[in-house]
Chains A and B, each alone.
Chain A
């Protein structure tokens, strides 16, 4: 059953940036693009077990810090090798200045 979980204060994520959020055994990456819109994906790159939160946000793209593969974090689509596999994305909502993500 899908559940909404509270993550971080929205102000903790700079525009065009990403932060890491751990919940239970899972890790997530929380993003804000240049417009200030928020998004969430699984925290590890689909190519290797690397935290995407250490990467670089450019527009709607996150670049993995280890091998420079790219993903569109709004859709989860792989955009540059060595990332070939799409990443899981999660619905988000903002309430009371906090970012919530809907997990399975």
Chain B
């Protein structure tokens, strides 16, 4: 049974927003794996120690790589040196932004806020707008017309997807919004998920950021070189490949318009170095199902719920291979999604009300894949 994809409009201002609400898949109740309350309370427990340690290590590595990059400037060694600096600037910057936005990184509230503001700037993610964008992403994960953080539509647009390796589209869109906010205006899409009471905060944050941009430009003019911008602002772009190669594994190739994170989110086994840089967000089904659990407890949460989830992808490479094979198929058949069977110990998938009046069952999807 094919799903009608003709009317797909991923914008938040288009008809799909209202349709999702009418179908009952917006702000809906999602499936949650059964975990005893006592165990969940242990897993949710907040700590300052792991995040203080990890933040010191991250900034120390960034400082060392930055110094090596500085020494290499003007030589060919600058290319690998800045590639490494950019990756360690952007990927942990993105994952710290994310964890602090949930308020789960540190136990102490102001520490979350300080890291949130710093990491937001490092990502060039306007702090307050992106806080609300991510709230919506968790409310309506991959619900078309509702989620502002869908990485690629179906069918995918290669130009945009690959351009994001250097943050060409998202970065420029955020810069445009920063200038818009600085002049006291909001983007129409943002008005769908940011309450009006937060607009003023968005405007003032944007004005402060513009002052920082001016300071960086002034430093470049004074130095007669782009070197100062190579350490702040530009790494968000030239280092973003590290963010995207990992972040693509979160949801791409899987279902949308469902109410079960096991269907639209992927957990991937990654090595300890990437898990450190990425704040354990490779346990992404676990994170989406239980966003209260801090990053340092996600491996333990994974052990608790893996019997209820599809088998994790064994590596980043395996996940990307699966994703790009699926995206190629989606170019021809936008209804195609990766099917991941559940173990016999798991509860059945919860699809929720199907969009367009079409009921999609797992056995039908398996037949579809076999064809």
Contact = CB atoms under 8 A, between A and B. Distances in A.
Given A56-B292, A68-B291, A17 B41 contact: yes
A51 to B, nearest CB: 9
Contacts of A37: none
Interface of A: 17, 48-49, 54-56, 58, 63, 65-68, 70, 80-82, 84
Nearest to B197: A84
Interface in B45-104: 46, 102-104
B97 to A, nearest CB: 14
Contact of B139 (A55, A63, A66, A80): A66
Given A55-B292, A58-B46, A81-B131, A67 B139 contact: yes
A56 B102 CA distance: 13
A68 B132 contact: no
Nearest to A79: B109
For the complex, would chain B's binding face be called helix, strand, loop or mixed by DSSP majority? helix
B27 interface: yes
A66 B41 contact: no
Interface residues of B, number: 21
B292 A63 contact: yes
Contact of B135 (A58, A63, A70, A82): A82
B290 A65 contact: yes
Contacts of A70: 103
Contacts of A58: 46
Given A17-B41, A55-B292, 15 more contacts: A48-B27, A58-B46, A63-B292, A65-B290, A66-B138, A67-B135, A67-B138, A68-B103, A68-B291, A70-B103, A80-B103, A81-B132, A81-B135, A82-B132, A84-B195
B44 interface: yes
Interface string B120-138: 0000000000011001001
Contacts of B292: 55-56, 63, 65, 68
A58 B107 CA distance: 10
A56 B314 CA distance: 32
A84 B131 CA distance: 14
Nearest to B195: A84
B27 A49 contact: yes
A66 B261 CA distance: 13
B41 A56 contact: yes
Interface in B287-316: 290-292
B353 to A, nearest CB: 16
